[in-house]
Structure 1
Amino acid sequence: MKRLRYFCLLFFVFATCSAEHKPPPSPAVRNYVEEVVRILQANFMNRAAISWVVFKQNLLAKASGAETIEQAYPAVVSAIVTLGDKHSMFAPARLVQESKLPTSKQPPLYPDEPVPGDIGYIRIPWVVGSHEKLDAYIAHVQAQIKERDKPELKGWLVDLRGNAGGNMWPMLVGIGPVLGEDTLGYSVDSNNTKTAWRYEKGKALADGDIEAETANYYTLKSANPVVAVLTDTLTASSGEAVAVAFKARKHTRSFGAGTCGVSTGRSRFYLSDGSIILLTTAVFADRHLVRYGHSIAPDEPLKPAEVVPQAIRWIREEYQAKK
């Protein structure tokens, strides 16, 4: 089966509701429930851990009394939540038509940290939007790297704190000069099929297919630098993908707090009424195929005020050891 594209968007969870002592759902709703269950059973990352007969029975019970598909939406939302992965999401047809996929409140963009002259610094913020917006994001990040790059740098701080997700591919292109050209990690689905992520010459690739790129890519003055990665509890989804891409990289260490815990990839499935299920279909794995899918702990857990000073101290020590 052709490989599905992975979508890593901002994290959101709906409320649940229940239905008791109501007549069975209408035939149209029953058919809709069967459609939903077929998609989940065939594609959900943890599908082997679920009793799908019981799952379907519970979904039909929650849809009791529903005569129209729209009336069954709360039951579908509740069923998605019970999958337990915290990343899957249901978007009703009306919101899809209005191009208003539900997300959490748009997170803030954090300011850059001041650093000494011998330390490079780059923040990788969350990003979603049009092709034009993603291109502008890549250009901005690489322009900042170019502006701050100097031969005398001892290493780089890569700041992922507050990166709540969005689209991982422009993030990987943006930070590509610091990551270096290599296989960066993988998405691994329920069939154990591995999709490799790679950065090379301004391109982010998934099994060789270009997912994002920039023609005017930058190359660091000093290749393979020492890198300190900063994370916090708001580092989520695509932000976690970037954290995974730095795992197992030489001369790299992470500092701060554990990430949000949705280090997984989602695929988009359209339902017959125009609604969408954004379903968790893969788990992130690093370049050594260590799998995550949960909160990613930093190498050095630290209080917020300690993160930048300790990371700078380690960069200088590692730089001297590397020479």
Structure 2
Amino acid sequence: MVVAVTATGAGIVEAQTASTDVPTFKAFPWAAYAVQVTGNARDAAGATVRLTTKDGEEKPFGSATANVDGTSLHHHRLRLSADLTTHGSIDGAAIWLRADAAGKSRAFMNSEKDLVNDRAGPAHRQVEIDVPDDVDRIAFGVLLEKHGEVTADRLIFQDLGEEPSSSLAEPTLDAAIDTIRKNAYHARDIDWSSIEPQVRARAGTAGRLSDVHAAIKVLLASLNDHHSFWMDADRATAYRHSGQPPGAATVERRGDDLGYIAMPGFMGTDPTLSANFAATMSKAIVELSPRCGWVVDLRGDSGGNMRPMLAGLRPLLGASPAASFEQANGHVIPFPVIGTTTVDQSAVPVAVLTGPHTASSGEAVAVAFRGRPNTRSFGAETAGLSSGNSAFPLPDGSEILLMTTIDRDRDGHRYGGVLEPDEAAEDAVAETTASTWLRRTCPAGASNASR
């Protein structure tokens, strides 16, 4: 599971802080995008920012980035708002706002959960952050995914004033400490007599939620699991009520004998959207039923909600469980593979592609194929997050996504870190290498699906 700093993070570090009260926008990457600006984002009338792709190589995203000094904004709430209109943009556009300390993100929010594109039409977007007390720079701007043009009218950067104290600050901190102490996979590795006083000191006594959130992040970092994270209330609510892959899922034929599946991950837990995603993929797999097997490409699967991913692959994985989670106390929880299939392809040869962007729930999907008959993996090692996060709501509406388990395959092998492929292959030739193996192991006249 994954979220927080997205593609925009790369662009933010390139622009320098403006020396005047009028924020200066710069395009990133400048070779692929151009930016035009009129007005002042700090005035009531705002600025108009137009970000456009240049001719040439397509990039995953472009950003119009501005910076202002953050040292006078500690404990303030900031808002960025704009009216977005796109032209020639299928993938969409968003606004973003970030607070940095010594080059590292301390608070971040964007509107990518509600992208504006040509299909959706013009729309107003607004994001807010609370500024921690060690921030030295505020960065904000407009994001355009891939190609096209976005115009942000009335783009306004506002200081809403000092963050008030909250009656929820103390109970939120207490709940977070208690939750992590009782449930974290590595809780036993923490010197609680040392770390808890540090965390409470970081939260302070002013009752500010931003200080509490910063303290929670310190505690999560001390677990050193590289997987647990804190999610603000807005994102937690959006995640529960959304459900979509970050890119297109693909099920298609390769030649006259192979099938190819590209699994992009799945963000969100909405039951209806999850079920629709899984049913569409499962149906396409059943209808194709290739003679010599499948290439299952997980190189772009950066995680999210594993359940619709596994359900979509139900025809290939067979009956539940395909794998399991193991808690720190040794208790084993089976991976649920929901749904049924009219065509059992659980013995059909499968070549699984992995790489460094195969992460978290993407790695869980890879583990579900470990120990499956007639299966081999190709590519590169994964991100190293083959573990499970559980969501724990906090009193202020935010959530902790806490690593509570490690992954186990169907043969009982334990993971928790990097998954190595059976056969290493450069990214450019991984699919070809996998396809060659499938065709080499496919007997003439084979029929792999049983109805």
Counterparts in 2 of 1:4-19, with a 5 A limit? 9-12=1-4, 15=105
Q: Does 1:168 align with 2:290?
A: no
Measured in 2, the distance between the counterparts of 1:110 and 1:147 equals 16
1:256 to 357, 379, 393: 379
Q: Quick one: structure 1 residues 121 and 62, their matched pair in 2 at CA, closer, same or farther if it must change by over 3 Å?
A: same
Q: Please state which structure has a larger fraction of its residues in helix.
A: 1
Measured in 1, the distance between the counterparts of 2:361 and 2:374 equals 23
Measured in 2, the distance between the counterparts of 1:95 and 1:247 equals 33
Equivalent position of 2:343 in the other structure? 219
Measured in 1, the distance between the counterparts of 2:260 and 2:234 equals 43
1:287 positional shift: 0.9
Is the contact made by 1:91 and 1:276 (CA closer than 8 Å) also made in structure 2?
yes
- Structure whose alpha-carbon radius of gyration is higher: 2
1:290 to 382, 402, 413: 413
3-state SS of 1:76 partner: helix
Q: Quick one: structure 1 residues 83 and 219, their matched pair in 2 at CA, closer, same or farther if it must change by over 3 Å?
A: same
Is the contact made by 1:18 and 1:75 (CA closer than 8 Å) also made in structure 2?
no
Is the contact made by 1:229 and 1:253 (CA closer than 8 Å) also made in structure 2?
yes
1:244 to 356, 359, 367: 367
1:34 positional shift: 3.4
1:33 positional shift: 3.3
Residue type at the aligned position of 1:50: I
1:30 positional shift: 5.6
Question: CA RMSD for the aligned pairs?
Answer: 3.0
Q: Quick one: structure 1 residues 227 and 99, their matched pair in 2 at CA, closer, same or farther if it must change by over 3 Å?
A: closer
Measured in 2, the distance between the counterparts of 1:165 and 1:233 equals 12
Count of residues paired in the alignment:
288
1:252 positional shift: 0.8
Q: Does 1:68 align with 2:194?
A: no
Q: Which has the higher contact order (CA 8 A, sep 6+)?
A: 1
1:125 positional shift: 2.5
2:394 to 266, 271, 291: 271
Deviations 1:130-161 (A, max 9, x none): 222112111211122123214xx122111112
TM-score (norm 1): 0.78
Measured in 1, the distance between the counterparts of 2:272 and 2:259 equals 27
Percent pairwise identity: 33
Q: Quick one: structure 1 residues 29 and 118, their matched pair in 2 at CA, closer, same or farther if it must change by over 3 Å?
A: closer
Q: Does 1:280 align with 2:403?
A: yes
Measured in 2, the distance between the counterparts of 1:121 and 1:303 equals 18
Is the contact made by 2:253 and 2:259 (CA closer than 8 Å) also made in structure 1?
no
Equivalent position of 1:5 in the other structure? none
Listed as ranges, the gaps of 5+ residues in structure 1 are: 1-8, 20-24, 199-203, 205-211
1:51 positional shift: 1.0
Deviations 1:25-54 (A, max 9, x none): 999856643332211110001111111121
Is the contact made by 2:296 and 2:351 (CA closer than 8 Å) also made in structure 1?
yes
3-state SS of 1:319 partner: coil
- The 10-residue stretch of structure 1 (111-120 or 181-190) with the greater mean CA deviation from structure 2: 111-120
Q: Quick one: structure 1 residues 173 and 108, their matched pair in 2 at CA, closer, same or farther if it must change by over 3 Å?
A: closer
Equivalent position of 1:35 in the other structure? 175
Listed as ranges, the gaps of 5+ residues in structure 2 are: 6-103, 107-131, 135-164, 447-451
3-state SS of 2:333 partner: strand
Q: Does 1:139 align with 2:279?
A: yes
TM-score (norm 2): 0.58
Q: Please state which structure has a larger fraction of its residues in strand.
A: 2
